[in-house]
Amino acid sequence: MKKISWDSMAESLSDDERIFQRRVQEARSEAITYLGLAKKPSGKVFDRLLNEGFDEAVIREVINELKAEGYLDDAVIVKRIIRQRQGRQAESKLALRHRMISNGLDPEIVDVVLGKSDSDLARAQDLLHSRFPTEYTVFQSNDLKREERHKLFLKLAQFLSRRGFEHSIIDRVLNRRDPD
């Protein structure tokens, strides 16, 4: 990893370049201090440096350096969040995307990694199996009276809807329809 010092600065820099490099080093030091041992999204680091008064050009330079050196890796954070939001914590891809982007993760990286993850259909089924194992099994068995089945359908459908699943996915999961 690159050391944080003034030794790496070239002697033949103009005054403006020297000032820019000094600001980059100061911003880099602040970013590394902020990062500590935890993996944090690049957007959060950007916001922190902006609040500390650094220019956007300086911040972009620091972010690029930190990404190249492995201090910042949004893909690792996206994969961790996807792993954490499975089973009882599952959400739709749209809800996950919104959660991650609002936490400062790069939207392009979020889209690429989410594209490789489980489908919304699989996520919804996994969620119902882990969150409502008895109810979902009874619902699938068709052993309920019409009124009870309707109440359970609403309960499960509303739950999935709150987790960001589209109506077409909810309908396929609860009515066991195969994709077209």
Q: N- to C-terminal Cα distance for the chain?
A: 51
Confidence of residue 16 (pLDDT cuts 50, 70, 90): confident
The DSSP letter of residue 175 is H
Gyration radius from the chain CA atoms: 24
Q: Which 3 state secondary structure label does DSSP give 173?
A: helix
What was the pLDDT predicted at 31? Answer: 82
Task: Give the mean model confidence (pLDDT) for residues 39-58.
Answer: 89
Assigned domain for 154 exists: yes
Task: Give the mean model confidence (pLDDT) for residues 37-43.
Answer: 82
The answer to whether residue 170 scores a pLDDT higher than 60 is yes
Assigned domain for 107 exists: yes
Assigned token pair, 136: 């979902």
Please tell me the pTM assigned to this model: 0.73
Mean pLDDT score of the chain: 86
Assigned domain for 91 exists: yes
Parent domain of 37: 15-68
Assigned domain for 153 exists: yes
CA nearest to 35, candidates 7, 9, 1, 5: 1
Task: Give the mean model confidence (pLDDT) for residues 41-59.
Answer: 90
> How many structural domains is the chain composed of?
3
* Whether residue 128 sits in one domain with residue 110: no
pLDDT > 90 in the chain, percent: 51
Q: How far is CA 22 from CA 28, 49, 50, 62, in A?
A: 10, 15, 16, 11
